[in-house]
């Protein structure tokens, strides 16, 4: 087990500087254009693939970093560049985590490479969990998977929404209910291979922020999948469902479902994304405050501005430390006894919203225009308190964990 550290080692620093250079030289110059176009930035993803950032090998290396700091360090630097483009680059990772969290070794080896493609033909993947009537309330999921024993096939029907890369993905990971009576404990995850009949893209959403990231509905109409596409396999699912039914009969709780296993593993990473956006806005505001003069002196000479910057930096550093702690705990198998993963996402998300708003205030009228990037950063930051569990849901998870009570 690696000791917890607040210092990156030499190899990690080298990777961080490499990512920072890509974010500064490739992502940032393209950010405003793809935000306006509201399209997937395929050329930037391809450039990321060419240099090795958009690849299974790179993410595996960071994911299995014994210190736990590989993924949060990478997320922070890429999202420092631009949240929309960075999400297009890393969005496939959520689907990959879904397979890693629930799949067999054979499934991991078969499907994750197909999620990325190669530098000459890049692909993306989508994780499909939320539904029009089941976002935070995962127990209300209506997408149904029914097993056809005679053909060893699963038949899936339903509609997913808010799916990053939904419809344009090469591989979709879909969470569906296999036993509605068990609520969220009766869910399972499935691989939908490329070109599977019955899967289509619904509406593409026009969003407030992260506009360079494709978000859409995914419609599943009689999608038939071979039994091998059930993540983890039928035997493992049957055992889990049997335990859930037994616990239900005894009035028990706490059987994890497929979607929540994925979100629990990814929450610190989302926190790191928020830290990157907050840091970017803070740096713009700090530079502006040093150079912008009013009444014959730089505005940073005024306590009203300087104190805001002091609070911004303090909150960013505190958020990063919470993210790093949760990431280290995840990699080293430490249980989230106080919902530390949710803590990291909650605090970092709220920090990003607050810091980007303060950055606009410091820039004044300039901050409200698209001539400066803080306006875009503020729009992007709003998503962190919503996706992969709203701030309200994080507070619910934390309060239930620390109290042991079924708070509603």
Q: Where are the beta strands (DSSP E) in 209-301?
A: 215-226, 293-294, 297-298
Annotation marks residue 388 as catalytic: yes
What's the rounded Cα separation, in Å, for the pair 236 and 72?
A: 31
CB distance 211 to 38 below 8 Å: yes
What's the rounded Cα separation, in Å, for the pair 22 and 18?
A: 6
For the CA atoms of 263, 282, 213, 211, what is the dihedral angle to 10 degrees?
130
Kindly give, in sequence order, each residue whose CB lies less than 8 Å from that of residue 34, ignoring residues fewer than 6 positions away.
41, 44, 82, 84, 85, 211, 212
CB distance 213 to 40 below 8 Å: yes
Choosing from 14, 235, 388, 392, the catalytic residue is 388
Nearest-Å Rg of the Cα atoms of the chain is 22
Burial class (CB within 10 angstroms; exposed 0-12, middle 13-18, buried 19+) of 20: middle
**H/E segment holding residue 177:** strand 171-177
Kindly give, in sequence order, each residue whose CB lies less than 8 Å from that of residue 29, ignoring residues fewer than 6 positions away.
none
For the record, the structure tokens of 7 come out as 């210092």
Bridge-based pairing state of the strands 125-128 and 171-177: parallel
- Is the CA virtual torsion 209, 210, 214, 216 positive or negative? negative
What's the rounded Cα separation, in Å, for the pair 24 and 310?
A: 24
CB distance 276 to 85 below 8 Å: no
The DSSP 8-state label assigned to residue 193 in this structure reads: -
Residues tagged active-site: 388
């Amino acid at each position: 087990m690696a000791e917890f550290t607040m210092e990156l080692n030499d190899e990690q620093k080298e990777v961080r500087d490499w990512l920072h250079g890509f974010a500064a030289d490739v992502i940032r110059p393209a950010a405003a254009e793809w935000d306006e176009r509201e399209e997937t930035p395929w050329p930037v993803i391809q450039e990321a693939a060419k240099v090795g950032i958009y690849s299974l090998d790179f993410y595996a290396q960071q994911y299995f970093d014994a210190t736990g700091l590989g993924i949060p360090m990478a997320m922070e630097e890429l999202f420092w560049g631009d949240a929309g483009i960075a999400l297009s680059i890393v969005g496939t990772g959520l689907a990959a985590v879904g397979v890693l969290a629930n799949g067999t070794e054979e499934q991991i080896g078969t499907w994750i490479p197909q999620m990325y493609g190669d530098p000459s033909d890049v692909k993306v993947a989508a994780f499909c969990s939320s539904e029009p009537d089941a976002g935070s309330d995962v127990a209300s999921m209506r997408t149904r998977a029914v097993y056809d024993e005679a053909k060893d096939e699963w038949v899936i029907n339903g509609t997913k929404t808010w799916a990053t890369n939904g419809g344009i993905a090469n591989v979709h990971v879909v969470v569906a209910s296999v036993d509605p009576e068990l609520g969220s404990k009766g869910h399972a995850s499935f691989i939908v291979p490329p070109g599977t009949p019955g899967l289509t893209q619904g509406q593409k959403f026009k969003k407030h922020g992260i506009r360079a990231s494709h978000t859409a509905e995914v419609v599943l109409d009689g999608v038939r999948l071979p039994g091998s596409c059930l993540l983890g396999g039928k035997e493992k699912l049957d055992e889990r469902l049997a335990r859930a039914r037994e616990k239900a009969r005894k009035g028990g709780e706490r059987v994890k479902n497929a979607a929540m296993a994925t979100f629990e593993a990814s929450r610190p990473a989302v926190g790191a994304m928020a830290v990157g956006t907050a840091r970017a806005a803070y740096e713009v505001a700090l530079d502006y405050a040093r150079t912008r003069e009013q009444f014959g002196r730089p505005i940073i000479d005024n306590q009203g501005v300087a104190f805001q910057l002091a609070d911004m930096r303090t909150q960013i550093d505190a958020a990063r430390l919470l993210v790093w702690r949760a990431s280290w705990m995840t990699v080293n198998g430490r249980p989230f006894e106080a919902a530390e993963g949710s803590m990291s996402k909650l605090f970092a998300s709220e920090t990003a919203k607050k810091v980007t708003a303060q950055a606009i205030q410091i820039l004044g009228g300039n901050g409200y225009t698209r001539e400066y990037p803080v306006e875009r950063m503020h729009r992007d930051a709003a998503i962190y308190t919503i996706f992969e569990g709203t701030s309200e849901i994080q507070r619910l998870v934390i309060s239930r964990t620390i109290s042991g009570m079924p708070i509603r």
